[in-house]
Chains A and B, each alone.
Chain A
Amino acid sequence: MKTLREDYLRTSKLPHIWCPGCGNGIVTAALVRAIGKVGYEQEDVSVVSGIGCSSRAAGYLNFNTLHTTHGRALAFATGLKLSQPALKVFVVMGDGDATAIGGNHFIHAARRNIDLNAIIVNNHIYGMTGGQHSPLTPEGKRATTAPTGTLERPFDILELARASGATFGARATAAQPRLMEKLMVQAANNPGFSVVEALSMCPIAYGRRNKLGSAVDMLKMMKEDSARVEKVRSGEVEEDSVIPVGTIFSNPAPEFTESYYSKMQKDS
């Protein structure tokens, strides 16, 4: 395995705050490799994040990084991108951050098709506050605020993104770090709003309460439960039984920042 680009990391800020077995490190490493692969200059990249465990990633990455308020990362990033259109903006959010408190910003960023790369680290739980259910907690799973299992149905985050107007949507699990990296590269190359759902594990606040075993057991489960979307589409595997991973959709459309500036030039 290739080593990570050390200059992309703030090594003096390590070790990170994440628990042993957490998937955030895998997702962050995939992002670092993806940015390196696309070949952006360090000063051209900005990482914006919200509040929660995964959002702490911004502090460990050596770019211009902005750790914002809970749920609002995409709204901050919208202002940043519009004021500095050349910036390559990655927005790291957790599942609760992006889809509960930040749900409105998420659908509207997608609707505008503004060139932001949303990385949603989905561990099905609010980890930092100790394990409350999120809009992505699967039905029936236990959380501190759903002691006998949640009654609520989860979002399909990529269906939500697609319906809202995002132009690229992809999914990988922490058990497929190479695929995750590849999808992040594709997201970066898509001129428009891109979403990568990075399925991750929280053995402490989610796995333990739902008797899913260790981090390794959870990784194995994610690997077994997921299948390439191509296999699902060809009918090789049954859709309901697996989590499709890979590029779920890619529907190019005019990008907002570019449209804004070109319209402004035309009008003046």
Chain B
Amino acid sequence: MNYRKPQLMQGNEACVEGAIDAGVRFFAGYPITPSTEIAEGMAQRLPEKGGVFIQMEDEIAGMAAVIGAALGGMMSLTATSGPGFSLKQENLGYAVMAEIPCVVVNVQRYGPSTGIPTAPAQGDVMQARWGTHGDHPIIALSPTSVYESYYLTTAAVKFSQKFRIPVVLLLDEVIGHMREKVALPEAGKLMVEKQKFGDIQDYKPFDERKTPPLIPFGEGFLYHITGLIHDEYGFPSRDPGVTTRLMDQLHQKISQNQDEIVMTNYMGHPEPRVGMITYGCTARSARAALKQTYFQKRWPVGLLTLQTVWPFPHEEVKKLASQVDLLLVPEMNMGQLVGEIERYCHGETEVVGVNRYDGEMITPEEIYEQIKRWFS
């Protein structure tokens, strides 16, 4: 792959470039710190590309307009932060149920409520999984760098189109506002192609065996979309069989493609005794701790970074858990993903959270101290 000239760029700006390069042509949103740069970037870039930018009256409307535009055939994205992410849950659930492809960027800030608008946190990990009501599948990706902010935005667009599901890009204030030197791939390399919908005669918008691409409104295929439980043609039903089939299909389209959706990377000792699992900005401190312990001291330490947070990378986590005696989970919250990790460890290893919730980043030293304690 050919790359462009390296440039200094912010995580939020990289998200904008990723969206444009993936083919996003519609943005609707509402100003909120620390995600506003994404809206501002889109307001600048979309009209240049023949796309649509609109600042809506509120966060709820931003999510609704993005769904409406997806039905009009545009790849669409919205961006927000904690309080706005709460407001978006209603229509995010609609997009899950009606299988509308779209991307929701949540640049996490300190909460609950207004919290500290400019302070980083990773407190929305479980909200990304369970924020909207009812059993529902979701995909959430969490970048650890400015380049990953670019790349995972394109991946979010790709997954949303392929699986017809809203994808959450779980940025955080650190990655969103941090500037790094990045060399982006040449424009067009990561463009997400619009899928062909094939023969209109046999088309079922909610086919129970597969997920067909959505035929945009106005293309001549007349159908119905609802947030109610619906049959394969989109019409409301409350038949127990139809209900079970729909729910199974919604979940299986993700669980059966876990291998494709889950992105993680492992660094460190091939046979670690102490493992770390982390995501987002905290991965950077964990990498520094890995450098001190494994790369410099050759201690048997390993780090598993989760770019895909949901669906949960249980195979990768289980594998690491089976190797180590201690599993550290650094998170900038009071312990969220650590619960999910424990669930898949079955008590095979000791799982210890390294948490900080004062609006400051977890330092490499804080993680290092925990590792050192085990080896001494």
- Specify which chain A residues have a CB less than 8 angstroms from the CB of B54 in the assembled complex: 78-79, 82
Query: Is A42's CB under 8 angstroms from B226's CB?
Result: no
The A73-102 residues at the B interface (CB cut-off 8 A) are 75-84, 86-87
When each residue 215-248 of chain B gets 1 if its CB lies under 8 Å from chain A and 0 otherwise, what string results? Answer: 0111111111111100000011000000000000
A75-B60, A79-B66 are known; give 10 further A-B pairs, CB within 8 A: A59-B235, A64-B221, A67-B236, A78-B54, A79-B69, A79-B76, A82-B26, A83-B26, A104-B57, A105-B57
**Closest B residue, CB atoms, query A44:** B218
Interface flag for B94 (CB, 8 Å): yes
Number of residues of chain A lying within 8 A (CB) of chain B: 39
A residues adjacent to B (C-beta < 8 A): 10, 13, 42-44, 46, 48, 58-59, 62-69, 72, 75-84, 86-87, 104-105, 107-108, 260, 263-264, 267-268
- Specify which chain A residues have a CB less than 8 angstroms from the CB of B74 in the assembled complex: 83
Query: Is A87's CB under 8 angstroms from B68's CB?
Result: no
Interface flag for B347 (CB, 8 Å): no
Task: Tell me which of A43, A48, A75, A87 has the highest count of chain B C-beta atoms within 10 A of its own C-beta.
Answer: A75
Q: List 30 A-B contacts (CB under 8 A).
A: A43-B218, A43-B220, A44-B218, A59-B235, A62-B222, A64-B218, A64-B223, A65-B222, A66-B68, A67-B224, A67-B227, A67-B228, A67-B236, A68-B94, A69-B91, A72-B61, A72-B91, A75-B56, A76-B68, A78-B65, A79-B28, A79-B72, A80-B71, A83-B68, A83-B69, A84-B73, A263-B47, A264-B50, A268-B47, A268-B48
- Specify which chain A residues have a CB less than 8 angstroms from the CB of B61 in the assembled complex: 72, 75, 78, 104-105, 108
- Specify which chain A residues have a CB less than 8 angstroms from the CB of B219 in the assembled complex: 43
User: Nearest-CB distance from A165 to chain B (Å)?
Assistant: 13
CA distance A37 to B67 in the complex (A): 30
Interface flag for B90 (CB, 8 Å): yes
Number of residues of chain B lying within 8 A (CB) of chain A: 42
Query: Is A64's CB under 8 angstroms from B217's CB?
Result: yes
Interface flag for B352 (CB, 8 Å): no
- Specify which chain A residues have a CB less than 8 angstroms from the CB of B56 in the assembled complex: 75, 78, 108
CA distance A44 to B221 in the complex (A): 10
Task: Tell me which of A77, A80, A263 has the highest count of chain B C-beta atoms within 10 A of its own C-beta.
Answer: A80
User: Nearest-CB distance from A10 to chain B (Å)?
Assistant: 8
Task: Tell me which of A44, A59, A69, A87 has the highest count of chain B C-beta atoms within 10 A of its own C-beta.
Answer: A69
CA distance A80 to B67 in the complex (A): 8
CA distance A82 to B52 in the complex (A): 7
- Specify which chain B residues have a CB less than 8 angstroms from the CB of A268 in the assembled complex: 47-48, 50
- Specify which chain A residues have a CB less than 8 angstroms from the CB of B90 in the assembled complex: 69, 72
Query: Is A87's CB under 8 angstroms from B217's CB?
Result: yes
Query: Is B94's CB under 8 angstroms from A69's CB?
Result: yes
Evaluate whether A86 and B228 lie within 8 angstroms (CB atoms) in the complex, with A66-B71, A76-B65, A80-B71 already known. no
